[in-house]
């Protein structure tokens, strides 16, 4: 174990804070200063990382009792940490401007003013702390209230996660009539009673329309509960069914895609980790290639929701074991479970130095350095990295040469690379990407799979009509909505003589995602298109994944 005194002074949390300020420290380094010292066998930096990983985003609300359950953390130290967190929360609340304080129905309606113009019915929850400060605004349901995705657990699970004291529900009526229906009253009363069981007070239930609003709480006293039907659950007559396990609330906020395939029997299958995972293109590809995912890292919260929505049923153990994490920089490589293949489409920030003579040292400050640390610690059998084609020529090729040198000379792996297009494997977009594959057994002579001779389908198939382009534009992030004649256009096409724009349904097909893959129902179309633009073309990844798995088996994995 590396002791803190063995770490260069410049990298020790206290010295780093004094020299560079708080912004230069990670969350775990800041916590390490509060902890002061580690425990036997674990230095303070590693201990702080484990604590943050255990509690995740909810660390800000950690209690003394929860902290003292960690070996080596006594009541005095736990009290010191929780007091610091409480002080930070209190100061933050007091600095919040009046827009974040909800003291009346008028304040609540102002925050959700956009609902008045919605053409479909929405249910929005405003979660408040004990001082009526807004913790989070979340759209829970889109549809019609009597035939929607609404279920009490979807309302209270996020509240339990953030330790909310109360919630205000706001529901819109596109018809313009704010009078509550009998179904509105039934659902509202059941939610209020569920809130009493959950310990989260339902402060108000508001209906808004174009030019009016209405609170229905006062009309519920004489409402008798009948069986309320929820689309996903069927008839539900018992309040006991409303109880939510707070420990599992994390998994309820996106629902689960019931169309996702069940886990396969993968005894002796190669194990892979999915870094910078996005919405799971690598996961689909390697799952189809017969491998098993054991660890996932993705920092973007909306992408996390899409990932959980589609893979919870396929790989539940990842989520239950705490191996679905956000920021990879907060994880110690030794805490990652054993695996055979490392995968990832890592972001490529410009390296801070032009040369490439410093090996590991040159990677610092880039996310590629985290890949280097994991490979160095875990020594997997193989890696598969993906990036934009431009990486090959970035900084006159010096960036690519640095990556190649570190993987080959410093880590001791073979290195194979190729620029591969999505259209090489049947997809109707070019989408050229740089694929990099390597093996710890340097005697392996890896061959990239040969391209297909024909497209699996073209843009006419994608768009459901006669399109003037057989191969479409590469999906991108941003820049949507340009005129079809604009050189920046990538989402407008002429179909059957009319101009149409790509949506997420068409984007999924262009990226080769399977038919069962769905975006969460509450995810906006803007977010869905952004996630697709950041994703990978699944068939191209899968072709290489199958070759890697086959190669490992051939050489006696």
Q: Cite the active site residues.
A: 348
**Residue in this structure with the two tokens 């949507």, named with its chain if needed:** 480
How far apart (Å, rounded) are the C-alpha atoms in residues 385 and 540? 13
**Residue in this structure with the two tokens 């999505």, named with its chain if needed:** 422
Cβ–Cβ < 8 Å for 383, 437: yes
Both tokens of 517, joined, read 């893959």
How far apart (Å, rounded) are the C-alpha atoms in residues 462 and 85? 51
Helix (H, G, I), strand (E, B) or coil at 184: helix
Cβ–Cβ < 8 Å for 279, 310: yes
Cβ–Cβ < 8 Å for 367, 346: yes
**Greatest Cα-to-Cα distance within the chain, rounded to the nearest angstrom:** 79
Cβ–Cβ < 8 Å for 488, 478: no
How far apart (Å, rounded) are the C-alpha atoms in residues 312 and 332? 24
How far apart (Å, rounded) are the C-alpha atoms in residues 227 and 25? 53
For β-strands 382-388 and 416-420, DSSP reports them as: unpaired
* Closest by Cα among 336, 392, 337, 342 to 371: 342
Residues 6+ apart with CB under 8 A from 66: 55
515, 519, 520, 526 alpha-carbon torsion, rounded to 10°: -160
The count of residues in the chain is: 557
How far apart (Å, rounded) are the C-alpha atoms in residues 544 and 371? 20
* Helix, strand, coil % in the chain, rounded to nearest 5: 40, 15, 40
Q: Residue 338 burial by CB count (10 A; 0-12/13-18/19+): exposed, middle or buried?
A: exposed
* Closest by Cα among 383, 453, 382, 386 to 418: 386
Residue 3 backbone dihedrals phi, psi, to 5 degrees: -85, 155
Cβ–Cβ < 8 Å for 281, 257: no
**Residue 47 vs residues 33, 72, 299, 305, 342: alpha-carbon distances, Å:** 11, 9, 21, 28, 25
């Amino acid at each position: 174990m590396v002791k803190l005194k063995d770490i260069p002074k410049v990298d020790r949390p206290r010295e780093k804070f004094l020299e560079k300020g708080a912004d230069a420290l990670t969350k775990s380094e800041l916590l390490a200063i509060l902890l002061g010292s580690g425990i036997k066998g674990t230095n303070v930096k590693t201990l702080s990382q484990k604590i943050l990983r255990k509690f995740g985003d909810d660390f800000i609300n950690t209690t003394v009792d929860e902290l003292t359950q960690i070996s080596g953390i006594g009541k005095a130290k736990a009290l010191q940490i929780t007091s610091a967190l409480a002080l930070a929360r209190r100061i933050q609340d007091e600095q919040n401007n009046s827009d974040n304080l909800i003291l009346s129905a008028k304040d609540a309606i102002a925050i959700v003013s956009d609902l008045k113009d919605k053409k479909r019915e929405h249910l929005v929850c405003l979660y408040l702390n004990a001082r009526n400060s807004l913790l989070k605004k979340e759209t829970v349901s889109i549809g019609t209230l009597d035939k929607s995705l609404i279920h009490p657990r979807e309302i209270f699970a996020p509240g339990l996660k953030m330790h909310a004291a109360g919630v205000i529900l706001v529901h819109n009526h596109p018809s313009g009539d704010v009078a509550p229906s009998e179904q509105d009253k039934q659902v509202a009363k059941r939610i209020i009673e569920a809130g009493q069981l959950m310990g989260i007070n339902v402060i108000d239930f508001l209906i808004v329309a174009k030019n009016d609003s209405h609170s229905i709480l006062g009309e519920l006293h004489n409402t008798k509960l009948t069986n309320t039907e929820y689309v996903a659950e069927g008839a539900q007559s018992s309040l006991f069914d409303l109880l939510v396990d707070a420990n599992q609330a994390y998994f309820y906020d996106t629902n689960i895609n019931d169309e996702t395939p069940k886990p396969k029997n993968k005894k002796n299958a190669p194990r892979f980790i999915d870094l910078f995972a996005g919405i799971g293109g690598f996961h689909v590809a390697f799952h189809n290639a017969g491998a098993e995912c054991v660890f996932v890292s993705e920092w973007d919260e909306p992408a996390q929701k899409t990932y959980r929505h589609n893979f919870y049923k396929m790989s539940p153990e990842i989520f239950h074991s705490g191996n679905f994490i956000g920021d990879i920089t907060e994880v110690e490589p030794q805490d990652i479970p054993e695996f055979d293949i490392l995968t990832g489409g890592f972001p490529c920030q410009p390296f801070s130095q032009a040369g490439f003579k410093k090996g590991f040292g040159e990677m610092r400050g880039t996310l590629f350095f985290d890949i280097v640390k994991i490979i160095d610690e875990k020594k997997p059998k193989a890696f598969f990295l993906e990036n934009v084609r431009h990486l090959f020529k970035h900084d006159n090729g010096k960036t690519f040469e640095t990556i190649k040198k570190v993987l080959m000379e410093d880590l001791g792996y073979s290195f194979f690379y190729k620029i591969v297009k999505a259209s090489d494997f049947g997809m109707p977009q070019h989408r050229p990407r740089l694929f990099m594959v390597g093996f710890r057994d340097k005697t392996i002579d890896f061959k990239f799979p040969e391209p297909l001779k024909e497209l699996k389908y073209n843009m006419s198939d994608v768009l459901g009509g006669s399109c003037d382009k057989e191969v479409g534009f590469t999906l991108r992030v941003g820049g949507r909505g340009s005129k079809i004649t604009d050189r920046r256009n990538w989402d407008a096409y002429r179909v059957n003589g009319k101009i149409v724009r790509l949506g997420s349904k068409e984007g999924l097909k262009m990226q080769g995602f399977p038919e069962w893959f769905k975006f969460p129902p509450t995810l906006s179309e803007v977010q869905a298109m952004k996630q697709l633009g950041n994703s990978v073309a699944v068939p191209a990844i899968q072709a290489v994944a199958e070759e890697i798995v086959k190669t490992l088996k051939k050489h006696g994995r």
